[in-house]
Amino acid sequence: MVQGKDGSLHPFALEGIYQAVPQLEMCDYKIDSCQLENIIDSSNMTPKVWVDIAEIIEREYQHYDGFLVLHGTDTMAYTASALSFMLENLGKPVVLTGSQLPLGMLRSDGRENIISALEIVAGKELMIPEVCVFFENRLYRGNRSTKVSAENFDAFKSYNYPSLAKVGITMTYKKHLIMPQPEGALKVWKQFDEHIAVLKLFPGITKELVDSILHTPGLKGAIIEAYGSGNALTEEWFINSLQDAIHRSIVLMDVTQCKAGSVKLRQYAASCDMERIGVISGHDITIEAAVTKMMHVLGNYGSDAERVRKMLETPLRGEMEE
C-alpha cells in the first residue's frame, strides 16, 4: 500500500518495489516479478484471485526455487489457507508477506518482512515445501495462521501449531515441524464452491437468524463458530434447525470461537446433540482454513457427500490435528 493524496491507503504497483526496497539489489540470487492485472485491496479478495495466483505458480513452477506473494494483511490468512489446499504435492516454498505500515512510510515493517521472506523463499538453508506466512521474524504454516492485530507489527499468530522458523541474526528452522517433501508431482486444484456460510453463535441468537442463514438459497455448507470446545445451545429449536439443514444435504462443521484449543464433541453435554445429528468436528482448525477448506472440498468433491465429510474431518495439508 501507498498513501494517496486523500490520506487513505491504496494498492501499490509492483514496478516500484526496487525503489521502495533498494536492498533487493544486493541479493545474490535472481528475482523476477509479476503482478496481477488488477491490483486490489486484499479486502476485495475472491476465490478467482486465488486461482490467478495459483496459476502463476503452476506456470512458473519449474523455473524458480520458490515464490513470494506480496499480499495485504486483512485476508492474507485466507489466501495462504486457500493456496495450501490448491497446491497439492507442493515441493517448494510459497511464502506470503506484507506490512502493517506502507512501504512508502519511513518506519514500514515491509522491508524487513520482504527481505527475510525472500531469504526463506530462495531456499539457501532449507527448502520448505509449504505455503507459509512470514511476519515480524516468524514463519508460520499458512493454514495455521490468523491475523490478530490491526496495529502491532506482530500481526499474525499460529496458536495451535508452533512457528516453523524464527528469524534473528540467524534463521532458526524447526525442521521436525515442517511438512516432508512430497513424492508426486504438483497438482493444482482450481475449483471453489462459494455457497457456504459462517454461523457465529452468541447469547441471545434467535431462531429467525439461524434459519435465515441455513435457508440461504443454494447453500451447501455452513461453519458453526461455537463456544469453547465446540459447545452450543441445546434448545430444541436450534438442534432441529441444524438437523433440518443436514437432511437437506447441507454440510455443517463445528469450529471453536477461541483462538487456541480444539473442538471436542461430547466433552460437554452442550455438544452431544451436535455430534448425534451429524455435525462434523473441525478440531483445532482456524476459521480461515475452515472457510477455504470447505470451499475447496465442496468445489471439487461436492457430488460425493461421504467423501466431502471424510475430507473435512481429515487433515489435508497439516491444517488441523490428526
In this prediction, residue 9 carries a pLDDT of: 65
Quick one: 267 exposed, middle or buried, by C-beta within 10 A (0-12, 13-18, 19+)?
middle
**Strand ranges in 118-256 using DSSP code E only, listed in sequence order:** 131-135, 138-141, 146-147, 156-157, 165-167, 171-173, 187-188, 196-200, 221-226, 251-256
> How high does pLDDT run on average in the chain?
91
**Angle at the Cα of 161 from the Cα atoms of 157 and 162, rounded to 5 degrees:** 75
Say yes or no: 29 and 177 in one domain: yes
Q: Across residues 77-86, what is the average pLDDT?
A: 98
Q: How far is CA 168 from the centre of its chain?
A: 25
Say yes or no: 201 and 274 in one domain: yes
CA distances from 172 to 72, 94, 124, 182, 288 (A): 26, 18, 13, 23, 27
CA distances from 166 to 57, 128, 248, 293 (A): 25, 14, 47, 27
In this prediction, residue 39 carries a pLDDT of: 84
Q: What is the pLDDT of residues 139-193, one digit of tens each?
A: 999 999 999 999 888 899 999 999 999 998 888 999 999 999 999 999 999 999 9
Listed residues 126, 161, 188: the one ending a domain = 188
pLDDT band at 4 (very low <50, low <70, confident <90, very high): low
Say yes or no: 44 and 154 in one domain: yes
Say yes or no: 242 and 97 in one domain: no
Say yes or no: 84 and 224 in one domain: no
Q: Enter the pTM of the model.
A: 0.93
- The answer to whether 97 and 117 have CB atoms below 8 angstroms apart is yes
Q: Is the pLDDT confidence value at 308 over 90?
A: yes
In this prediction, residue 175 carries a pLDDT of: 96
Q: Is the pLDDT confidence value at 104 over 80?
A: no
Residue 221's domain comprises 196-312
Q: How many CB atoms lie within 10 A of CB 57?
A: 21
Q: Is the pLDDT confidence value at 16 over 60?
A: no
pLDDT band at 45 (very low <50, low <70, confident <90, very high): very high
Q: Which of 3-12, 89-98, 191-200, 284-293 is predicted least confidently?
A: 3-12
Instruction: Decide if 136 is inside a domain.
Output: yes
Q: Looking at this protein, which amino acid is placed at residue 124?
A: K
Q: In terms of pLDDT, which residue wins out, 269 or 276?
A: 276
Say yes or no: 228 and 150 in one domain: no
Instruction: Decide if 319 is inside a domain.
Output: no
Say yes or no: 76 and 200 in one domain: no
Q: What is the pLDDT of residues 20-29, one digit of tens each?
A: 677 777 778 8
| Number of structural domains found in the chain | 2
Kind and range of the H or E run holding 180: none
Say yes or no: 161 and 282 in one domain: no
In this prediction, residue 111 carries a pLDDT of: 79
pLDDT band at 304 (very low <50, low <70, confident <90, very high): very high
